[in-house]
């Protein structure tokens, strides 16, 4: 897994990259009550707003961590947004994408660096 300073995680599986938020981010948000996901097939650029997430504390935008195309969204989050609090780094991923430039992954932190970042 790789981690961003915006508290997103990325995990590469084959040609796809799965994106979600970290446990730390989910804890900071509090109880998630709404998740708006992008459309599959959408082409995104790094830092485009792609997901809207609302909790009892705040609303946040999740940004595209890299350039690419959204290939799949986790539609279960629309019906069960609280899953983000239960398993943010597992079953509650937001979307999968193919990268236009996979080398963009190299600029993100590994888990040890992320843990130091949030400490």
Chain segment 26-77, per-residue pLDDT in tens: 999 999 999 999 999 999 999 999 999 999 988 999 999 999 999 999 999 9
**Per-residue confidence (pLDDT) for residue 21, from 0 to 100:** 97
Strand order in the sheet with 49-55: 32-36, 49-55, 59-63
- Domain at 38, CATH number: 2.40.50.100
- Does a structural domain hold residue 39? yes
- Does a structural domain hold residue 95? yes
Number of domains within the chain: 1
**Per-residue confidence (pLDDT) for residue 86, from 0 to 100:** 96
- Does a structural domain hold residue 33? yes
Residue 22 · residue 9 · CB < 8 Å: yes
The model's confidence at residue 23, banded by pLDDT at 50, 70 and 90, is very high
- Does a structural domain hold residue 28? yes
**14 dihedral zone (left: phi>0; alpha: psi -120 to 50; beta):** left
- Does a structural domain hold residue 37? yes
Residue 78 phi, psi dihedral angles, 5° rounding: -65, -40
Domain that includes residue 94, residue range:
2-101
- Does a structural domain hold residue 109? no
- Does a structural domain hold residue 106? no
């Amino acid at each position: 897994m790789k981690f961003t300073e915006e508290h997103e995680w990325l995990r590469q599986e084959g040609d796809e990259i799965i994106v979600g938020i970290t446990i730390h981010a989910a804890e900071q948000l509090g109880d998630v009550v709404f998740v708006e996901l992008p459309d599959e097939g959408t082409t995104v650029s790094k830092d485009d707003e792609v997901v809207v997430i609302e909790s009892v504390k705040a609303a946040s935008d999740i940004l595209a961590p890299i350039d690419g195309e959204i290939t799949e969204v986790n539609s279960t989050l629309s019906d069960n947004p609280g899953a983000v609090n239960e398993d943010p780094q597992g079953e509650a991923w937001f979307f999968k994408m193919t990268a236009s430039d996979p080398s963009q992954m190299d600029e993100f932190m590994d888990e040890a660096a992320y843990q130091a970042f949030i400490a």
